Chains A and B, each alone.
Chain A
Amino acid sequence: MNFINKIQETLLTDQRYLYLFDGLKNTVIITVCALILGVILGTLLAIIRVNYQNGARGAVMQILNAIAGLYLTVIRGTPIMVQLMIMYYVIWQSGEPIPVAIVSFGINSAAYVAEVIRSGIQSVDKGQTEAGRSLGLSSRQTMVRIILPQAFKNVAPAIFNEFIALVKETSVAGYVGIQDLTKSGDIIRSQTYDAVTPLLFVALVYLVIVIGLTQILGIIERRLAVSDHR
């Protein structure tokens, strides 16, 4: 069987390309939702850490900071695959696999995003906070309207990297029975007894996604930099 036949066998016979489409759809859903969850959760964690480091030492703050510290240590100290399986088999036993995966990857991503955003917040000059507060804005308004936009801009490349890493990390979703892109390739392999061609296609699709994302993110980054033009 030559290569053309193999491609035909892998993609067209029995409409096997549909496996890849479904897998791609699940991969995209999990990645995008997990990223949104990760950025929101990560930002909250970052704000807790920064407030604590800036000297907020109330009882609530002490507890929140301790929780945040534990969270970061545990999540960054264990593999995502183990976290995913703990979530699926232990914590959320009767859960739908895809929501379980979204929550797992979101929680995982938040730990990395939190550290990135924390450094972003700390990179914004203290005078910005003072200017905001001196105009009568509350600390929350100052954080949301003045500090965070600048912080996000400063760390945008690092968050985009996290996004790209997340796309590829979701490839372990198959372990909890999700038919993601990687799993789809595996299903095709089990039907055609040909490992090379489906894996090649799966790799190609990931590559195209990441290249596409890199392009899009580059455009966004240039647009964010519009206020820097002199």
Chain B
Amino acid sequence: MIIVKNLQKTFQTATGEKIQVLRGIDIHIEKGEKIAVIGPSGSGKSTFLRCLNLLEQPTGGEIFFEGQQINDSKVDIDKLRAQMGMVFQHFNLFPHLSVKRNITLAPTLLKLKSQEEADEEAIRLLERVGLSDKADAYPNQLAGGQKQRIAIVRSLAMNPKVMLFDEPTSALDPEMVGEVLDVIKELADDGMTLVIVTHEMGFAREVASRVIFIDEGKIQEENEPEEFFTHPKNPRLQDFLSKVL
């Protein structure tokens, strides 16, 4: 479903200094896979995720989504992004719109659904995450865990083929992490293709079909979760796991 070949990303700072964040990432992600991406901060794991829907423009390599190369200037990136949901660390709900409007804005604006269809879908999705009573609330009236569940619903309303999660629980109070992870887990159980950058090792182990360790801009190790966590081979991964577990 997603094929990444020799992905590279170099940022240029304001002073003209060049920082290479991704140094050649290769990965095939099959439909229905649940990929957990872990790694120390600054390792490039978020940049990798953001390259997948071109929120960051790669400076080298190729990314294919369902056979089509996406980092090509001829591609209509808006059409592709509409098929890839993304959930952010800081939720990024639209504060000037009600919860329901947050969810229905993109599907109606892109003419995928009529307003009524979108409204019904929004209510149905909100019920699924236990927040149907918040349809008319505004984002600032909600707690962090509620906001993130709504951000997930907002992405789902586009019926994406894959969901990208960029540290979805890192900005949450500890007692709210569980409710968000439960929603993601439910998605995984429904067969959604997921790529999730996370620090929740327990979650990665339980939900992921494959875990990837990125450090210094490269995939240092990838494996199915049991083997990955119990018998890490790469010394950097061993060191990382010894610090976080």
Contacts and interface: CB of A to CB of B under 8 A. Distances in A.
Interface string A104-134: 0000000000000000000001011011111
A137 interface: yes
Interface string B144-156: 0000000100110
A229 interface: yes
Nearest to A229: B141
Interface in A201-227: 226-227
Nearest to B154: A135
A127 B96 contact: no
Nearest to A130: B55
Contact of A136 (B88, B94, B110, B151): B110
Contact of B79 (A132, A136, A141, A145): A136
Name the prevailing secondary structure of the A interface residues.
helix
B141 A150 contact: no
A227 B88 contact: no
Contacts of A138: 78
B92 A128 contact: yes
Contacts of A146: 94
Interface of A: 125, 127-128, 130-138, 141, 145-146, 149-150, 153, 226-230
B92 A227 contact: no
Nearest to B84: A134
Given A145-B105, A150-B95, A133 B81 contact: yes
A136 B81 contact: yes
A229 B86 CA distance: 27
Nearest to A224: B96
A110 to B, nearest CB: 24
Give the top 10 A-B pairs by smallest Cβ distance, nearest first: A136-B82, A131-B92, A135-B106, A134-B86, A127-B92, A227-B138, A136-B81, A149-B96, A136-B78, A138-B78
B158 interface: yes
Contact count band on B: 20 to 34
Contacts of A153: 96
A128 B105 CA distance: 13
B81 A150 contact: no
Given A138-B78, A145-B105, A153-B96, A133 B55 contact: yes
A229 B98 CA distance: 12
A140 to B, nearest CB: 10
17 contacts: A127-B88, A130-B55, A130-B92, A131-B86, A134-B81, A134-B85, A135-B81, A135-B105, A136-B80, A136-B81, A136-B106, A137-B110, A141-B109, A227-B95, A227-B98, A229-B141, A230-B141
B53 interface: yes
B140 A134 contact: no
Interface of B: 53, 55, 78-86, 88, 90, 92-98, 105-106, 109-110, 138-141, 151, 154-155, 158
Contacts of B97: 227
Nearest to A226: B138
B96 A227 contact: yes
A227 B140 contact: yes
Given A127-B88, A230-B140, A136 B158 contact: yes
A196 to B, nearest CB: 50
B90 A127 contact: yes
Given A145-B105, A229-B141, A137 B95 contact: no
A130 B92 CA distance: 8
Nearest to A152: B96
A153 B79 CA distance: 30
Contacts of B55: 130, 133-134
A135 B155 contact: yes
A145 B109 CA distance: 9
Contacts of B94: 128, 131-132, 146, 150
Contacts of A128: 92, 94
Given A138-B78, A230-B141, A150 B84 contact: no
Contacts of A228: 95, 138, 140
B153 to A, nearest CB: 12
A229 B139 CA distance: 10
